[in-house]
Structure 1
Amino acid sequence: MNTSESPCELQELRRHIAGIQHARPQEKEGCVSLGVEAIDRSLGGGLARGKLHELFALEKEEEASAAGFAAMLAVRFGGPVVWLRTERAHAEGGGLYAPGLLDIGFDPTRLLVAVLPDANAVLRAANDIARCREVGIAIVELWRRCPELGLTETRRLTLAAEGSGSTVLMLRVDAEPVPSAAQTRWSVQSAEAVPLDANAPGRPTLNLELLRQRGRPAGGSWRVEWDRDQANFVEPATSAPLRGPVVPLPSYGSDQARPGLRRAG
């Protein structure tokens, strides 16, 4: 769905959210386990609901990995998902690819994608969407240096999320971290996958680094696999890595294809 700025823009988004089927959010209290004990322990039990979390693809080549991590978290959290993007990001990266989302167990009928003119429009919409109790996760995708996004804007998003219980994922592509009020900040990279039985392609695999978290010690790096059947992250098996591309993550398609999740290096 392409949405241009207008007085009815946010009302239209609300109407579409209300129409998403089978998408009532799960209980929003507390934290969501990521399935890997070491990560959950570092986070004090799991990733907190009703907060702002930052996901960084520090290089453009890792955009699909970071977007995939956002989609996997949306599977874990449950509820309707609103994905906000700028027109420029949509033109450069292409549209979200429904078969790729299905590959990781994400139901595309839970998803509303809104393409807005610029970062200011995205942030205005994000503040409104984050106040909607019906939303499970709002994914806010912004590329490269973004002067419009600063400490004040992230504080507003944090307050909106805390008030509603909805969770905001700030997806930053080809960008450097700046001061923010986010609860956690992550760097996401693709990694080599371990083959499955009969040398079948391995599960989507990511290198995660916890760069920062409020109120708790920062730091920690983990390699994780996404288990579609369990809808959870797991620690990789200890066998030789698969040499070559791995199962595509939500690859991006429509106008032009984004690369799938590939091995590092």
Structure 2
Amino acid sequence: MNNFFAAMQSTASPTLSDLRRSLAEAALRTGPAATGKVGLGAAEIDATLSGGLERAALHEVYAAGAADLAAATGFALGLALRAAQGEAARGERSILWVRQDFVDAETGRLHAPGLNELGLDPARLLLVRARDAEGVLRAGAEGARCPALGAVLIEPWGEPRAFDLTASRRLALAAEGSGVTALLLRVAAAEAPSAARTRWQVRPLVSRALEANAPGNPAFGLRLLRHRGGVAECEWRVEWNRDRCTFENRTAFDRSDRLFPRRTDASPLSRPLVPLSGDGQAAAAGPDSGLRRAG
């Protein structure tokens, strides 16, 4: 815990070589990366996704608005924890979190006791703060290439010029090559074309009190916006069980009770998207669109 706070409060900026050295040390302590899919634990979602999310891939998580960043962060961290779980031979691996300084200024710094309440031992967290989005993307790409990690969480602010289709393709290829799950957390940003395998929108739900009126589990409203395998847009309500490190479906609800406004800018995908070529260009792709989030 103390080491975690020291890393957060240090005035010295770590260099890319420092990160590479830390990742190399982690690689010496671990075996090969896992394969297969990352199940969320919620049966309905995993069934829809044919077992879960592709592990060796890039996935995007959007906050529905700036006020929803905490919920989006909690969901992304839950995915990272699920990805970092492993067989006995692998053990639980470290998570690299790369965050732009501006996010700290706008929303506040990460809170170690809060992360611990979600189930993340701060000793497993490698935290890198970068001055700009370009630094975030460079550090995120370094992490995505390291098979010793359980997951990489990349958090730039807004819509930086440095993040384009080519940059996302670079992250996706790094994740595919190493087997690491890369999660791109977006806030104050509109949907844009990317090489992400899935795209999610998240907003908070009211928790349900436990016995003796104890605080309930964190609850999330999820919308699957895009799936490169052709899964149509879906919505779910889930809770995070930190003791089991799993998402759980909430009690069935009226499907007409939508969590998000109806979308008129895109239709469900009936087949897989056209794959990107090696130079990051798509053979045929229409731009995604969406309402700009307030920042």
Q: TM-score range by the shorter chain?
A: 0.7 to 0.9
Contact kept in structure 1, 2:100 and 2:131, CA below 8 Å: yes
Contact kept in structure 2, 1:207 and 1:223, CA below 8 Å: yes
**Looking at both structures, which has the greater relative contact order when contacts are Cα pairs under 8 Å and sequence separation is at least 6?**
1
Contact kept in structure 1, 2:44 and 2:249, CA below 8 Å: no
Q: 1:57-206 maps to which residues of 2 (within 5 A)?
A: 57-78=63-84, 79-206=93-220
How well do the aligned residues superpose, as a CA RMSD in angstroms? Answer: 2.2
Does residue 1:13 correspond to 2:19, yes or no? yes
Cα gap change, 1:96 to 1:221, in 2 (>3 Å) = same
Q: How far 1:128 sits from its partner (Å)?
A: 1.7
Q: Following superposition, which runs of at least 4 residues in structure 1 exceed 4 angstroms of deviation? A: 18-21, 23-27
Contact kept in structure 2, 1:25 and 1:80, CA below 8 Å: no
Contact kept in structure 1, 2:43 and 2:249, CA below 8 Å: no
Cα gap change, 1:17 to 1:108, in 2 (>3 Å) = farther
Deviations 1:155-212 (A, max 9, x none): 1111010001111100001211100010000001100112211222211000011000
CA distance in 2, matches of 1:176, 1:236: 28
CA distance in 1, matches of 2:211, 2:25: 41
Aligned to 1:44: 50
* Count of matched residue positions in the alignment of Structure 1 and Structure 2: 235
Contact kept in structure 2, 1:140 and 1:168, CA below 8 Å: yes
Which is greater in Rg? 2
- Gapped runs of 5+ residues in structure 1? 240-265
Contact kept in structure 2, 1:31 and 1:46, CA below 8 Å: yes
| Partner SS, residue 143 of structure 1 | coil
TM-score, L = length of structure 1: 0.82
| Partner SS, residue 74 of structure 1 | helix
Aligned to 1:55: 61
- Gapped runs of 5+ residues in structure 2? 1-6, 85-92, 254-295
CA distance in 1, matches of 2:240, 2:201: 17
Aligned to 1:234: 248
